[in-house]
Protein backbone atom coordinates (compact mmCIF):
# COMPACT_ATOMS: atom_id res chain seq x y z
CA UNK A 1 0.00 0.00 0.00
CA UNK A 2 2.82 2.33 1.04
CA UNK A 3 4.55 1.44 -2.24
CA UNK A 4 1.48 2.48 -4.25
CA UNK A 5 1.17 5.81 -2.38
CA UNK A 6 4.85 6.68 -2.78
CA UNK A 7 4.59 5.69 -6.47
CA UNK A 8 1.67 8.12 -6.99
CA UNK A 9 3.50 10.88 -5.07
CA UNK A 10 6.67 10.30 -7.07
CA UNK A 11 4.79 10.35 -10.43
CA UNK A 12 2.97 13.53 -9.43
CA UNK A 13 6.20 15.29 -8.41
CA UNK A 14 7.83 14.07 -11.62
CA UNK A 15 4.99 15.50 -13.75
CA UNK A 16 5.10 18.83 -11.89
CA UNK A 17 8.89 18.99 -12.44
CA UNK A 18 8.46 18.20 -16.18
CA UNK A 19 5.74 20.87 -16.45
CA UNK A 20 7.95 23.47 -14.77
CA UNK A 21 10.90 22.67 -17.05
CA UNK A 22 8.60 22.93 -20.10
CA UNK A 23 7.18 26.26 -18.91
CA UNK A 24 10.71 27.56 -18.30
CA UNK A 25 11.76 26.46 -21.80
CA UNK A 26 8.74 28.25 -23.30
CA UNK A 27 9.57 31.47 -21.43
CA UNK A 28 13.21 31.25 -22.58
CA UNK A 29 12.12 30.49 -26.18
CA UNK A 30 9.82 33.49 -26.17
CA UNK A 31 12.52 35.70 -24.70
CA UNK A 32 15.46 34.62 -26.82
CA UNK A 33 14.04 32.95 -29.94
CA UNK A 34 10.60 34.48 -30.67
CA UNK A 35 11.52 37.98 -29.57
CA UNK A 36 12.97 39.49 -32.70
CA UNK A 37 13.81 42.79 -31.06
CA UNK A 38 13.71 46.13 -32.86
CA UNK A 39 13.53 45.78 -36.65
CA UNK A 40 13.73 48.48 -39.29
CA UNK A 41 11.20 48.83 -42.12
CA UNK A 42 12.75 50.93 -44.88
CA UNK A 43 10.07 52.32 -47.23
CA UNK A 44 10.79 53.47 -50.80
CA UNK A 45 14.56 53.62 -50.53
CA UNK A 46 14.73 55.60 -47.29
CA UNK A 47 11.66 57.85 -47.83
CA UNK A 48 10.48 56.62 -44.43
CA UNK A 49 12.30 54.44 -41.89
CA UNK A 50 10.27 52.82 -39.14
CA UNK A 51 11.54 51.00 -36.09
CA UNK A 52 9.14 48.30 -34.93
CA UNK A 53 9.16 45.37 -32.58
CA UNK A 54 9.62 42.28 -34.76
CA UNK A 55 7.41 39.19 -34.79
CA UNK A 56 4.11 40.42 -36.26
CA UNK A 57 2.97 40.72 -39.89
CA UNK A 58 4.26 43.53 -42.07
CA UNK A 59 0.64 44.63 -42.67
CA UNK A 60 -0.13 45.04 -38.95
CA UNK A 61 3.25 46.61 -38.10
CA UNK A 62 2.78 49.22 -40.83
CA UNK A 63 -0.76 49.90 -39.54
CA UNK A 64 0.65 50.35 -36.03
CA UNK A 65 2.79 53.17 -37.52
CA UNK A 66 -0.25 54.73 -39.29
CA UNK A 67 0.61 53.38 -42.73
CA UNK A 68 -2.47 51.57 -43.97
CA UNK A 69 -2.06 49.11 -46.84
CA UNK A 70 -5.37 48.16 -48.52
CA UNK A 71 -6.69 44.89 -47.14
CA UNK A 72 -10.21 43.62 -47.56
CA UNK A 73 -10.09 40.27 -45.73
CA UNK A 74 -8.61 41.33 -42.40
CA UNK A 75 -5.22 39.67 -42.91
CA UNK A 76 -6.44 36.18 -43.81
CA UNK A 77 -4.51 36.09 -47.08
CA UNK A 78 -7.64 35.67 -49.16
CA UNK A 79 -8.22 39.05 -50.86
CA UNK A 80 -4.71 39.71 -52.24
CA UNK A 81 -5.22 43.47 -51.85
CA UNK A 82 -2.24 44.00 -49.52
CA UNK A 83 0.51 43.45 -52.07
CA UNK A 84 3.79 45.32 -51.51
CA UNK A 85 7.21 44.89 -53.06
CA UNK A 86 9.71 43.44 -50.59
CA UNK A 87 13.22 44.27 -51.72
CA UNK A 88 15.14 42.84 -48.77
CA UNK A 89 14.23 40.60 -45.81
CA UNK A 90 10.76 39.15 -45.27
CA UNK A 91 11.64 35.45 -45.71
CA UNK A 92 10.33 33.05 -48.33
CA UNK A 93 6.95 33.22 -50.11
CA UNK A 94 4.49 31.08 -48.10
CA UNK A 95 1.85 28.64 -49.40
CA UNK A 96 -1.02 31.07 -48.64
CA UNK A 97 0.52 33.71 -50.94
CA UNK A 98 1.51 31.45 -53.83
CA UNK A 99 -1.87 31.32 -55.65
CA UNK A 100 -2.10 35.14 -55.68
CA UNK A 101 1.32 35.94 -57.15
CA UNK A 102 2.13 35.70 -60.86
CA UNK A 103 5.59 34.54 -61.94
CA UNK A 104 6.44 38.14 -62.82
CA UNK A 105 5.31 39.43 -59.41
CA UNK A 106 7.41 36.79 -57.64
CA UNK A 107 10.46 37.77 -59.66
CA UNK A 108 9.87 41.45 -58.73
CA UNK A 109 9.55 40.68 -55.00
CA UNK A 110 5.78 41.23 -54.67
CA UNK A 111 4.37 39.72 -51.47
CA UNK A 112 1.10 39.76 -49.50
CA UNK A 113 2.05 42.00 -46.59
CA UNK A 114 -0.36 40.15 -44.27
CA UNK A 115 1.71 36.99 -44.77
CA UNK A 116 5.18 38.53 -44.39
CA UNK A 117 6.44 38.12 -40.80
CA UNK A 118 8.91 40.81 -39.80
CA UNK A 119 11.73 38.95 -38.05
CA UNK A 120 14.58 41.26 -39.06
CA UNK A 121 15.15 44.41 -41.09
CA UNK A 122 13.08 44.71 -44.29
CA UNK A 123 13.09 47.09 -47.23
CA UNK A 124 9.83 47.59 -49.11
CA UNK A 125 8.28 49.71 -51.87
CA UNK A 126 4.68 50.97 -51.69
CA UNK A 127 2.71 53.55 -53.72
CA UNK A 128 3.06 57.04 -52.20
CA UNK A 129 -0.78 57.40 -52.06
CA UNK A 130 -0.76 55.00 -49.12
CA UNK A 131 0.87 57.68 -46.99
CA UNK A 132 -2.35 59.73 -47.23
CA UNK A 133 -4.63 56.95 -45.95
CA UNK A 134 -5.90 57.91 -42.49
CA UNK A 135 -7.61 56.18 -39.62
CA UNK A 136 -10.91 57.82 -38.65
CA UNK A 137 -13.13 57.78 -35.60
CA UNK A 138 -16.76 58.41 -36.47
CA UNK A 139 -20.28 58.20 -35.11
CA UNK A 140 -23.11 56.27 -36.74
CA UNK A 141 -25.66 58.98 -37.50
CA UNK A 142 -28.19 56.81 -39.33
CA UNK A 143 -28.77 53.17 -40.21
CA UNK A 144 -31.49 52.83 -42.81
CA UNK A 145 -32.84 49.60 -44.33
CA UNK A 146 -32.82 49.77 -48.16
CA UNK A 147 -34.07 46.22 -48.88
CA UNK A 148 -34.56 43.08 -46.78
CA UNK A 149 -30.76 42.50 -46.73
CA UNK A 150 -29.14 45.89 -47.45
CA UNK A 151 -28.70 48.79 -45.02
CA UNK A 152 -27.32 52.25 -45.62
CA UNK A 153 -25.00 53.63 -42.94
CA UNK A 154 -24.26 57.32 -42.55
CA UNK A 155 -21.20 57.99 -40.42
CA UNK A 156 -20.23 61.46 -39.22
CA UNK A 157 -16.47 61.92 -38.83
CA UNK A 158 -15.23 62.89 -35.37
CA UNK A 159 -11.42 62.67 -35.67
CA UNK A 160 -10.16 63.74 -38.18
CA UNK A 161 -13.35 65.62 -39.04
CA UNK A 162 -12.92 65.59 -42.85
CA UNK A 163 -12.01 63.06 -45.51
CA UNK A 164 -10.81 63.57 -49.09
CA UNK A 165 -11.50 60.80 -51.56
CA UNK A 166 -12.26 60.13 -55.20
CA UNK A 167 -15.78 58.94 -56.07
CA UNK A 168 -15.63 55.14 -56.37
CA UNK A 169 -13.04 54.51 -53.66
CA UNK A 170 -13.65 52.40 -50.58
CA UNK A 171 -12.91 52.55 -46.85
CA UNK A 172 -12.34 49.83 -44.31
CA UNK A 173 -14.84 49.57 -41.50
CA UNK A 174 -13.79 47.91 -38.27
CA UNK A 175 -16.34 45.76 -36.47
CA UNK A 176 -16.21 45.43 -32.68
CA UNK A 177 -15.68 42.20 -30.81
CA UNK A 178 -18.95 40.32 -30.21
CA UNK A 179 -19.83 36.79 -29.10
CA UNK A 180 -16.76 34.72 -30.05
CA UNK A 181 -15.72 37.02 -32.91
CA UNK A 182 -12.71 39.31 -32.74
CA UNK A 183 -12.83 42.76 -34.35
CA UNK A 184 -12.29 42.56 -38.14
CA UNK A 185 -11.72 45.11 -40.92
CA UNK A 186 -13.81 44.86 -44.10
CA UNK A 187 -13.86 46.94 -47.27
CA UNK A 188 -16.98 48.98 -48.11
CA UNK A 189 -17.30 51.33 -51.06
CA UNK A 190 -18.19 54.88 -50.09
CA UNK A 191 -21.62 55.64 -51.55
CA UNK A 192 -21.71 59.36 -50.70
CA UNK A 193 -20.12 61.90 -53.08
CA UNK A 194 -16.71 63.43 -52.22
CA UNK A 195 -18.31 66.87 -51.73
CA UNK A 196 -19.69 65.77 -48.35
CA UNK A 197 -16.33 65.72 -46.60
CA UNK A 198 -17.59 65.51 -43.03
CA UNK A 199 -19.30 62.16 -43.37
CA UNK A 200 -19.28 58.91 -45.37
CA UNK A 201 -22.13 56.62 -46.37
CA UNK A 202 -21.99 52.88 -47.07
CA UNK A 203 -24.45 50.32 -48.47
CA UNK A 204 -23.90 47.00 -46.74
CA UNK A 205 -25.47 43.67 -47.70
CA UNK A 206 -25.91 41.03 -45.01
CA UNK A 207 -23.73 37.98 -45.72
CA UNK A 208 -25.19 35.04 -43.76
CA UNK A 209 -22.57 33.93 -41.22
CA UNK A 210 -20.34 36.92 -42.08
CA UNK A 211 -18.56 38.50 -39.11
CA UNK A 212 -18.68 42.18 -40.03
CA UNK A 213 -22.09 42.28 -41.68
CA UNK A 214 -23.74 40.38 -38.79
CA UNK A 215 -22.19 42.97 -36.46
CA UNK A 216 -23.54 45.79 -38.65
CA UNK A 217 -27.05 44.32 -38.80
CA UNK A 218 -27.40 42.97 -35.23
CA UNK A 219 -25.04 44.95 -32.98
CA UNK A 220 -24.22 48.34 -34.47
CA UNK A 221 -26.59 51.03 -33.17
CA UNK A 222 -27.19 54.65 -34.15
CA UNK A 223 -25.10 56.95 -31.93
CA UNK A 224 -22.33 54.37 -31.53
CA UNK A 225 -18.69 55.24 -32.29
CA UNK A 226 -16.99 53.40 -35.15
CA UNK A 227 -13.47 53.17 -36.56
CA UNK A 228 -12.58 53.20 -40.23
CA UNK A 229 -9.62 53.86 -42.47
CA UNK A 230 -9.28 55.04 -46.03
CA UNK A 231 -9.58 55.99 -48.75
CA UNK A 232 -8.38 53.05 -50.82
CA UNK A 233 -8.76 51.72 -54.33
CA UNK A 234 -8.43 52.41 -58.02
CA UNK A 235 -12.12 52.18 -58.95
CA UNK A 236 -12.95 55.65 -60.28
CA UNK A 237 -14.13 57.30 -63.47
CA UNK A 238 -11.39 57.58 -66.11
CA UNK A 239 -11.17 61.10 -67.60
CA UNK A 240 -12.04 60.18 -71.20
CA UNK A 241 -15.06 61.19 -73.26
CA UNK A 242 -16.18 57.60 -73.95
CA UNK A 243 -19.82 56.66 -73.26
CA UNK A 244 -20.14 54.99 -69.89
CA UNK A 245 -21.82 51.72 -68.92
CA UNK A 246 -22.30 51.23 -65.19
CA UNK A 247 -23.40 47.70 -64.28
CA UNK A 248 -24.08 46.88 -60.64
CA UNK A 249 -26.72 45.22 -58.50
CA UNK A 250 -27.39 45.05 -54.76
CA UNK A 251 -24.81 46.81 -52.60
CA UNK A 252 -22.63 47.03 -55.74
CA UNK A 253 -24.57 50.24 -56.35
CA UNK A 254 -22.54 51.98 -53.61
CA UNK A 255 -19.57 53.36 -55.64
CA UNK A 256 -21.81 54.01 -58.67
CA UNK A 257 -24.15 56.11 -56.53
CA UNK A 258 -21.15 58.15 -55.38
CA UNK A 259 -19.81 58.57 -58.94
CA UNK A 260 -23.22 59.49 -60.39
CA UNK A 261 -23.86 62.17 -57.81
CA UNK A 262 -20.34 63.51 -58.29
CA UNK A 263 -20.98 63.64 -62.07
CA UNK A 264 -24.12 65.64 -61.48
CA UNK A 265 -22.43 68.04 -59.06
CA UNK A 266 -19.55 68.65 -61.48
CA UNK A 267 -21.76 68.97 -64.57
CA UNK A 268 -20.24 65.92 -66.31
CA UNK A 269 -22.09 65.43 -69.62
CA UNK A 270 -20.81 62.05 -70.76
CA UNK A 271 -23.40 59.67 -72.19
CA UNK A 272 -24.07 57.30 -69.31
CA UNK A 273 -26.25 54.25 -68.77
CA UNK A 274 -26.68 52.51 -65.43
CA UNK A 275 -27.91 48.89 -65.59
CA UNK A 276 -29.13 47.90 -62.12
CA UNK A 277 -29.60 44.12 -61.93
CA UNK A 278 -31.88 42.63 -59.27
CA UNK A 279 -34.01 39.52 -58.85
CA UNK A 280 -37.40 40.99 -57.99
CA UNK A 281 -38.97 44.38 -57.34
CA UNK A 282 -38.34 43.81 -53.61
CA UNK A 283 -34.57 43.94 -54.32
CA UNK A 284 -34.72 47.36 -55.99
CA UNK A 285 -33.87 50.52 -54.04
CA UNK A 286 -33.17 54.21 -54.69
CA UNK A 287 -35.26 53.84 -57.86
CA UNK A 288 -37.07 57.14 -57.39
CA UNK A 289 -33.78 58.96 -56.66
CA UNK A 290 -32.19 57.48 -59.81
CA UNK A 291 -35.22 58.39 -61.94
CA UNK A 292 -34.98 61.91 -60.56
CA UNK A 293 -31.28 62.00 -61.49
CA UNK A 294 -32.27 60.86 -65.00
CA UNK A 295 -34.62 63.84 -65.25
CA UNK A 296 -31.86 66.20 -64.07
CA UNK A 297 -29.07 64.75 -66.26
CA UNK A 298 -30.24 64.53 -69.90
CA UNK A 299 -27.31 62.27 -70.88
CA UNK A 300 -28.03 59.72 -68.17
CA UNK A 301 -30.34 56.69 -68.51
CA UNK A 302 -31.27 54.42 -65.62
CA UNK A 303 -32.20 50.83 -66.60
CA UNK A 304 -33.34 48.55 -63.76
CA UNK A 305 -33.68 44.90 -64.86
CA UNK A 306 -35.25 41.98 -62.98
CA UNK A 307 -34.17 38.37 -63.49
CA UNK A 308 -36.76 36.60 -61.33
CA UNK A 309 -39.84 38.80 -61.18
CA UNK A 310 -43.11 36.77 -61.33
CA UNK A 311 -45.07 37.14 -64.57
CA UNK A 312 -48.12 39.36 -64.22
CA UNK A 313 -46.67 41.30 -61.28
CA UNK A 314 -47.22 44.59 -63.05
CA UNK A 315 -43.49 45.18 -63.68
CA UNK A 316 -43.18 46.92 -67.02
CA UNK A 317 -39.40 47.40 -67.04
CA UNK A 318 -36.65 45.17 -68.37
CA UNK A 319 -36.59 41.44 -67.56
CA UNK A 320 -33.80 38.87 -67.81
CA UNK A 321 -30.18 38.39 -66.86
CA UNK A 322 -28.28 41.65 -66.67
CA UNK A 323 -25.76 40.45 -69.28
CA UNK A 324 -28.62 39.84 -71.78
CA UNK A 325 -30.25 43.19 -70.99
CA UNK A 326 -26.96 45.07 -71.53
CA UNK A 327 -26.43 43.11 -74.78
CA UNK A 328 -29.88 44.15 -76.05
CA UNK A 329 -29.27 47.84 -75.30
CA UNK A 330 -25.62 47.96 -76.40
CA UNK A 331 -24.98 45.34 -79.10
CA UNK A 332 -21.72 47.10 -80.07
CA UNK A 333 -19.75 48.10 -76.96
CA UNK A 334 -16.46 48.75 -78.76
CA UNK A 335 -16.50 52.53 -78.12
CA UNK A 336 -17.73 52.39 -74.50
CA UNK A 337 -16.08 52.15 -71.11
CA UNK A 338 -17.60 49.85 -68.46
CA UNK A 339 -17.56 50.13 -64.67
CA UNK A 340 -18.74 46.99 -62.87
CA UNK A 341 -19.32 46.41 -59.21
CA UNK A 342 -20.60 43.45 -57.20
CA UNK A 343 -20.02 39.74 -56.74
CA UNK A 344 -17.13 38.04 -58.58
CA UNK A 345 -19.67 35.80 -60.42
CA UNK A 346 -21.65 38.76 -61.77
CA UNK A 347 -18.49 40.63 -62.76
CA UNK A 348 -16.93 37.67 -64.57
CA UNK A 349 -20.16 37.08 -66.53
CA UNK A 350 -20.33 40.77 -67.51
CA UNK A 351 -16.68 40.91 -68.61
CA UNK A 352 -17.28 37.88 -70.85
CA UNK A 353 -20.43 39.41 -72.37
CA UNK A 354 -18.86 42.87 -72.88
CA UNK A 355 -15.81 41.38 -74.62
CA UNK A 356 -18.18 39.49 -76.90
CA UNK A 357 -19.82 42.84 -77.75
CA UNK A 358 -16.45 44.23 -78.81
CA UNK A 359 -15.28 46.02 -75.66
CA UNK A 360 -11.51 45.84 -75.18
CA UNK A 361 -10.63 44.33 -71.78
CA UNK A 362 -8.57 47.37 -70.77
CA UNK A 363 -11.71 49.53 -70.90
CA UNK A 364 -13.49 47.38 -68.31
CA UNK A 365 -12.96 48.60 -64.73
CA UNK A 366 -14.36 46.75 -61.72
CA UNK A 367 -14.37 46.26 -57.96
CA UNK A 368 -15.06 42.66 -56.99
CA UNK A 369 -16.80 42.43 -53.62
CA UNK A 370 -14.83 39.28 -52.79
C1 LIG B 1 -13.03 46.64 -52.72
C2 LIG B 1 -14.24 46.03 -52.02
C3 LIG B 1 -15.36 46.82 -51.81
C4 LIG B 1 -16.47 46.27 -51.17
N5 LIG B 1 -17.57 47.05 -51.00
C6 LIG B 1 -18.68 46.52 -50.45
C7 LIG B 1 -19.89 47.29 -50.31
O8 LIG B 1 -19.94 48.48 -50.68
N9 LIG B 1 -20.96 46.70 -49.76
C10 LIG B 1 -20.95 45.39 -49.33
O11 LIG B 1 -21.98 44.91 -48.85
N12 LIG B 1 -19.84 44.64 -49.45
C13 LIG B 1 -18.71 45.16 -49.96
N14 LIG B 1 -17.56 44.41 -50.06
C15 LIG B 1 -17.52 43.06 -49.41
C16 LIG B 1 -17.12 43.22 -47.93
O17 LIG B 1 -15.79 43.71 -47.85
C18 LIG B 1 -17.14 41.90 -47.13
O19 LIG B 1 -16.39 40.92 -47.82
C20 LIG B 1 -18.54 41.36 -46.90
O21 LIG B 1 -19.36 42.35 -46.31
C22 LIG B 1 -18.51 40.13 -46.00
O23 LIG B 1 -17.89 40.45 -44.78
P24 LIG B 1 -18.23 39.66 -43.44
O25 LIG B 1 -17.19 40.00 -42.44
O26 LIG B 1 -19.64 39.86 -43.05
O27 LIG B 1 -18.08 38.17 -43.91
P28 LIG B 1 -16.87 37.17 -43.60
O29 LIG B 1 -16.78 36.89 -42.15
O30 LIG B 1 -15.66 37.70 -44.28
O31 LIG B 1 -17.41 35.89 -44.33
C32 LIG B 1 -17.72 35.86 -45.72
C33 LIG B 1 -18.26 34.48 -46.07
O34 LIG B 1 -17.28 33.53 -45.80
C35 LIG B 1 -17.81 32.60 -44.89
N36 LIG B 1 -16.70 32.31 -43.94
C37 LIG B 1 -16.18 33.13 -43.02
N38 LIG B 1 -15.17 32.54 -42.38
C39 LIG B 1 -15.06 31.31 -42.91
C40 LIG B 1 -14.22 30.20 -42.69
N41 LIG B 1 -13.26 30.22 -41.76
N42 LIG B 1 -14.38 29.08 -43.44
C43 LIG B 1 -15.35 29.04 -44.38
N44 LIG B 1 -16.19 30.06 -44.64
C45 LIG B 1 -16.04 31.16 -43.92
C46 LIG B 1 -18.98 33.24 -44.18
O47 LIG B 1 -19.94 32.30 -43.73
C48 LIG B 1 -19.50 34.06 -45.30
O49 LIG B 1 -20.33 33.30 -46.12
C50 LIG B 1 -16.45 44.92 -50.71
C51 LIG B 1 -15.31 44.15 -50.92
C52 LIG B 1 -14.22 44.68 -51.57
C53 LIG B 1 -13.01 43.82 -51.80
Same domain, 352 and 256: yes
C-alpha of residue 183 to centroid of ligand 1, in Å: 14
Same domain, 114 and 163: no
Tell me the CA end-to-end span of the chain in Å, nearest whole number. 67
Q: What is the mean pLDDT of the chain?
A: 92
Range of the domain at 152: 134-232
Same domain, 282 and 264: yes
Q: Could you tell me if residue 49 is inside a domain?
A: yes
Confidence of residue 8 (pLDDT cuts 50, 70, 90): low
* Mutate-to-test residue for ligand 1 from 188, 216, 236, 285, highest number of ligand atoms within 8 A of CB: 188
Same domain, 316 and 354: yes
C-alpha of residue 295 to centroid of ligand 1, in Å: 35
Q: Is the pLDDT of residue 22 over 70?
A: no
Q: Which residue has a Cα nearest atom 14 of ligand 1?
A: 369
pTM: 0.84
Q: Which residue has a Cα nearest atom 51 of ligand 1?
A: 369
Q: Could you tell me if residue 5 is inside a domain?
A: no
| Average pLDDT estimate for 42-66 | 94
Q: Is the pLDDT of residue 79 over 90?
A: no
Q: What local confidence, expressed as pLDDT, does residue 12 receive?
A: 63
- Residue 192's CATH number: 2.40.30.10
| Average pLDDT estimate for 143-162 | 98
Query: What residues contact 261, with CB distance under 8 A and at least 6 apart?
Result: 167, 192, 193, 293
Same domain, 166 and 212: yes
Same domain, 164 and 215: yes
Domains of the chain: total = 3
Confidence of residue 70 (pLDDT cuts 50, 70, 90): confident
Same domain, 193 and 265: no
Task: Report which listed range, 69-73, 103-107, 179-183, is most confident.
Answer: 103-107
State the pairing for strand pair 48-53/122-125. unpaired
Q: Which of 232, 258, 273 is the last residue of a domain?
A: 232
Ligand 1 nearest-atom number relative to CA 74: 30
**What whole-number percentage of the chain has pLDDT above 70?**
91
Confidence of residue 300 (pLDDT cuts 50, 70, 90): very high
Q: Could you tell me if residue 9 is inside a domain?
A: no
* Mutate-to-test residue for ligand 1 from 207, 236, 341, highest number of ligand atoms within 8 A of CB: 207
Q: Could you tell me if residue 259 is inside a domain?
A: yes
Amino acid sequence: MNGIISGVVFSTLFLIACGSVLALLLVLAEKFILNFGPCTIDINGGEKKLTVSGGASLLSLLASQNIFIPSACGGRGSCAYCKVIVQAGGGEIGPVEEPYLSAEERRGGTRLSCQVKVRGDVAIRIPREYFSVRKYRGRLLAKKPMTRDIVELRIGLLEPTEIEFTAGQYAQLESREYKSHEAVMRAYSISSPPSGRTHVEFMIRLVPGGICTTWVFEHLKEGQEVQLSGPYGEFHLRPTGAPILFIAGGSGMAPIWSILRHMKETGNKRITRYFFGAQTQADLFLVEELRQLQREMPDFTFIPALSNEPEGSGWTGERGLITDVVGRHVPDASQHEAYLCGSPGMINACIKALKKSGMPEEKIYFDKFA
